[in-house]
Amino acid sequence: MIHESWPRLMIVDVEGNGAAPPDLVEIAVLPLTGGVPHPATARAWLIRPPVPVTPFATRVHKLDNAHLADCPPWSAVAAEVGALLGTAWICAHNASVEYKTLRRHLPDWKPDGVLDTLRLSRATLPDAPGHNLDALIEHLDLDLSQAPGQRHRATFDAYAAARLLLRLAENYPTWEGLAEAARLPGVPEPEAPPTLW
């Protein structure tokens, strides 16, 4: 696949406080340029949520209320995040969660499109043993040696989603074919409130 023909694309991952609906505690945005994810170009923000982080959420991403106490609130970083995202396409694993959460936090933000590596993996690898990110990392033996941080932190998971997208894209000779298999139809809305921690 000729990655140079792809539109501007940002790989996104968010972590939340475990509330319903979730408040952001971390967001990472990783530009994908020329088919290569460059962790050094990723941007990540830790955010102090208005509602405390639940113990369950802390067990998943290891971010607790003490860790976030001195971080800025969302209002202090929203404009910067929105400017970086612009109208670029975004991609995430189970992207309806990222899309809905970001739209709630950035009501005027409208990406040109949303790719979902979960949807793409189901279309491309229907017989895989699982389609969650951990199962696909193992099944495809993705090289995450350059991934910053640890699993369930936003920058690591964005990098993992980028590697997954690139591996699955090998099955699609054109952007249009890839987008057809991976794009969330219409306005991406999960069937139930998103679970985010």
pLDDT of 113 strictly over 80: yes
Contact 130, 139 (CB under 8 A): yes
**Long-range CB contacts (within 8 A, 24+) of 174-178:** 174/1, 174/5, 175/1, 175/5, 175/6, 175/7, 178/1, 178/115, 178/120
128 token code pair? 């895989």
**162 in Cβ contact with 11 (< 8 Å):** yes
- Would you say residue 2 has pLDDT above 90? no
57-97 per-position pLDDT tens digit: 999 999 999 999 999 999 999 999 999 999 999 999 999 99
Q: Residue 44: in which H helix or E strand, if any?
A: strand 43-46
Q: How confident is the model at residue 118 (pLDDT cuts 50, 70, 90)?
A: very high
Integer Cα distance of 61 and 88 in angstroms: 27
Average pLDDT on 175-179 reads: 94
The whole-number pLDDT of residue 196 equals: 58
Please give the model's pTM, rounded to 2 decimal places.
0.90
CA dist., res. 155 & res. 92, Å (int): 12
Instruction: Classify burial at 36, counting beta carbons within 10 Å of its beta carbon; exposed 0-12, middle 13-18, buried 19 or more.
Output: exposed
Q: Which of 49, 45, 48 is nearest to 19 (CA)?
A: 49
Pick the CATH number of 3-182 from 3.30.420.10, 3.40.50.970, 3.30.420.40, 3.40.190.100: 3.30.420.10
What pLDDT score was predicted for residue 194?
Answer: 55
Q: How far apart are CA 182 and CA 106, in angstroms?
A: 23
